[in-house]
Amino acid sequence: MSYQVTIKPSGHVFRCQPGETVLEAALREGFPLPYGCRNGACGACKGKVLEGAVDYGPYQAAALTEVEKQVGMALFCCARPRTDLVIESREIGAVRDIPIKTLPCRVHALERVAPDVMVMKLKLPQSERLQFLAGQYIDILLKDGKRRSFSMANPPHDDELLELHVRNHPGGAFTQHVFTTMKVKDILRFQGPLGTFFLRENSDKPIVFLASGTGFAPIKAIIEHALYTGIRRPMTLYWGNRTRSDLYLPQLPERWAREHAHFRFIPVLSEPAPGDAWSGRTGLVHRAVMEDIGDLSGYQVYACGAPAMVEAAHRDFTRECGLPEEEFFSDAFTPGEPPQPA
């Protein structure tokens, strides 16, 4: 049977069909709740169940603790109603009118920009364009029914090709294919745009962008969109990698910093190699932010990259630096395999 779900504080009401998660039903009904990975790993969709009961579904324990469950929290990308529900969650109005499409595309270019990072550019059919917000992602649809999520690194105004930054994860079947056997002109299918990681333009607060590894991709899109549209808010990008060779495409943010006085770029290496001759910042990338900006109470933060980095940044920025909870926006990169039940 279906169940009624009421969202607070908006008062919006929708019905969840058998087998649907709260998030799936909300999106189907046109009420975009925050979400990221959609597989119970990043915690972006976390909200509170005020009334009713849910089946929590499979998720990663780091994304939802037992203490959080005891006070009513749930991951709406995994939770399925057992009764009618009243939930507390933010709604993201800016994605409401953007249709999610399933489209074919052709591999237009493959460029290895680091030993384990490939820039892949996809061309849509001539009659198609994908409407999206800078920072959103697409799901590549594989023949075995699995999906692989990749953020779009190009901004919406430059939409002739979709640009993805693909890291070669050991044991990843799709990424191994990208690095070994994929060829230009190969045909893929994808679904998108997805996600609620995008720039909130109704604020004048200075922005800290925080990236690790290929978490740079959606942040690149957001920054290029902001510069293109003339947003003048002070912006600082902290980009963390292990070694200098992992810092792919550094010339881009370096150029942004040269050309725009309100933009700064601070690369941070956690384990610079002896041959790197690195004289820049070292250590954990989010700690570099804390060293430079002790008080984040007047900032917005957009973080993307490894889940451990995003979680540590959220914890330390909100607890130690005064960052308001509602001013931390994140998209954690998680493995393609589904999480095990927790």
Asked if 65 contacts 23 with a C-beta cutoff of 8 angstroms, the reply is no
Alpha helices, H only, the chain: 22-28, 66-70, 173-180, 216-228, 251-259, 285-292, 307-320
Q: CA 306, CA 323: separation in Å to the nearest integer?
A: 20
Q: Which fold has domain 101-194?
A: Elongation Factor Tu (Ef-tu); domain 3 (2.40.30)
Confidence of residue 337 (pLDDT cuts 50, 70, 90): very low
CATH 2.40.30.10 domain position(s) in the chain: 101-194
User: Does residue 193 have a cis bond before it (omega within 30 degrees)?
Assistant: yes
SS3 category, 305: strand
1 DSSP 8-state letter: -
CATH 3.10.20.30 domain position(s) in the chain: 3-92
Average model confidence (pLDDT) for the chain?
93
Question: What pLDDT was estimated at residue 233?
Answer: 97
- CATH class, range 3-92: alpha beta
Q: CA 87, CA 50: separation in Å to the nearest integer?
A: 5
Q: What is the pLDDT of residues 286-327, one digit of tens each?
A: 999 999 999 999 999 999 999 999 999 999 999 999 999 999
Question: What pLDDT was estimated at residue 221?
Answer: 98
- In this predicted structure, the answer to whether residue 336 has a pLDDT above a threshold of 70 is no
- In this predicted structure, the answer to whether residue 335 has a pLDDT above a threshold of 70 is no
Architecture of the domain whose range is 207-332 = 3-Layer(aba) Sandwich (3.40)
CATH 3.40.50.80 domain position(s) in the chain: 207-332
**Cα angle value 132/167/35 (rounded, 5°):** 40
Q: What is the pLDDT of residues 1-51, one digit of tens each?
A: 899 999 999 999 999 999 999 999 998 888 889 988 888 888 889 999 999
Q: CA 194, CA 171: separation in Å to the nearest integer?
A: 25
Please give the average per-residue pLDDT across 148-169, as a whole number: 94
Among the listed residues 14, 18, 17, 19, the one whose alpha carbon sits nearest the alpha carbon of residue 29: 14
Would you say how long the chain is, in residues?
342
Q: What is the pLDDT of residues 131-142, one digit of tens each?
A: 999 999 999 999
- In this predicted structure, the answer to whether residue 341 has a pLDDT above a threshold of 50 is no
- Amino acid residing at 295: D
Query: What pTM value is reported for the model?
Result: 0.86
- The DSSP code sequence of 183-232 is -TT-EEEEEEEE------TT----EEEEEEGGGHHHHHHHHHHHHHTT--
Q: What is the pLDDT of residues 229-278, one digit of tens each?
A: 999 999 999 999 999 999 999 999 999 999 999 999 999 999 999 899 99
User: What is the layout of strands, in order, in the sheet containing 85-88?
Assistant: 13-16, 3-8, 85-88, 46-51, 73-75
Please give the average per-residue pLDDT across 175-200, as a whole number: 95
Q: How far is CA 161 from CA 119, 125, 153, 223, in A?
A: 12, 10, 10, 18
CA atoms within 13 A on the CB side of 39: 16
